[in-house]
């Protein structure tokens, strides 16, 4: 098993990604035959309501997390919510799932999309820099 520090976590919804301010977080690659990952985040109690509808329903949700270093690209995961543990003013949200694999890096996908959208020159550069910072979801 390998463990990593989780720096950010975002959950995909119909409106886009929702970011959760972490108190702390950890990601564990179980390195088993099922390629299972465990994600545990500690957040203020108010955010538990966003995950409660998914507890033990086997409904898969998409999340993405930045692991170890702030400059790393977010890693996408398909997870189920297993447990929400009350810790006073905070909660621990435990999720298990698999890492989403992408054929290409985010920057390449973004650039391709922006060119397809007809951007070029300074417009392309400005939008690319902006989107690399905000990381909107790109549909394949």
- pLDDT band with cut points at 50, 70 and 90 for residue 36: very high
Assess whether 29 and 87 both reside in one domain.
yes
Q: What CATH number does residue 71 fall under?
A: 2.40.10
Number of domains comprising the chain:
2
Q: Which of 20, 1, 2 has its CA nearest to residue 10?
A: 20
Question: Model-level pTM?
Answer: 0.75
Assess whether 15 and 84 both reside in one domain.
yes
Query: Is pLDDT of 139 > 80?
Result: no
Query: What's the pLDDT tens digit per position in 102-113?
Result: 545 778 888 988
Cβ neighbours around 65 below 10 Å, total: 22
What mean pLDDT do residues 134-140 have?
75
Q: Which residue has the higher pLDDT, 71 or 49?
A: 49
Token duo for residue 98: 């698999």
Assess whether 14 and 72 both reside in one domain.
yes
Q: Are 8 and 72 in contact (CB under 8 A)?
A: no
Query: Is pLDDT of 46 > 70?
Result: yes
Chain centre to alpha carbon of residue 21: 12
* Cα–Cα dist 101/76, whole Å: 8
* Cα–Cα dist 19/45, whole Å: 15
* Cα–Cα dist 94/83, whole Å: 5
């Amino acid at each position: 098993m390998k463990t990593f520090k989780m720096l950010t976590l975002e959950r995909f919804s119909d409106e886009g990604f929702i970011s959760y301010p972490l108190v702390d977080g950890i990601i564990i690659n179980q390195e088993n035959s099922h390629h299972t990952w465990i994600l545990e985040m500690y957040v203020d109690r108010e955010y538990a309501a966003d995950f409660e509808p998914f507890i033990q329903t086997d409904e898969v949700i998409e999340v993405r997390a930045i692991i170890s270093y702030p400059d790393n690209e977010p890693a996408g995961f398909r997870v189920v919510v297993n447990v929400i543990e009350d810790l006073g003013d905070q909660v621990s949200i435990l999720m298990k799932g698999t890492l989403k694999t992408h054929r290409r890096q985010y920057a390449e996908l973004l650039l391709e999309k922006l060119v397809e959208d007809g951007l070029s020159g300074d417009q392309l550069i400005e939008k690319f820099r902006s989107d690399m910072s905000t990381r909107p979801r790109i549909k394949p």
